[in-house]
Amino acid sequence: MTAAAVVAARTGGPPDDDHPLLEQIAGWVLTIVLAMLIARFGPL
């Protein structure tokens, strides 16, 4: 691939290697909060 093709393939999203630990922690927190809400109010 040429450099122009690589640049054209980018969609403008954030880089993949930016704060992977923070994303992992945020994902687990979201999962736990969702599980707590489902346990409290029941499934929709």
Segment 1-44, tens digit of pLDDT = 566 566 556 677 766 667 789 999 999 999 999 999 999 998 76
Q: Buried b / exposed e across 12-44, counting CB within 10 Å, b at 16+?
A: eeeeeeeeeeeeeeeeeeeeeeeeeeeeeeeee
- Looking at residue 12, its pLDDT comes to 74
DSSP 1-44: --HHHHHHH--S---TTS-HHHHHHHHHHHHHHHHHHHHHH---
Tell me the two tokens of residue 37: 């809400």
pLDDT in the model for residue 16: 67
Q: Model pTM greater than 0.95?
A: no
**pLDDT of the residue at 31:** 97
**Per-residue confidence (pLDDT) for residue 20, from 0 to 100:** 85
Q: What is the pLDDT of residue 19?
A: 78
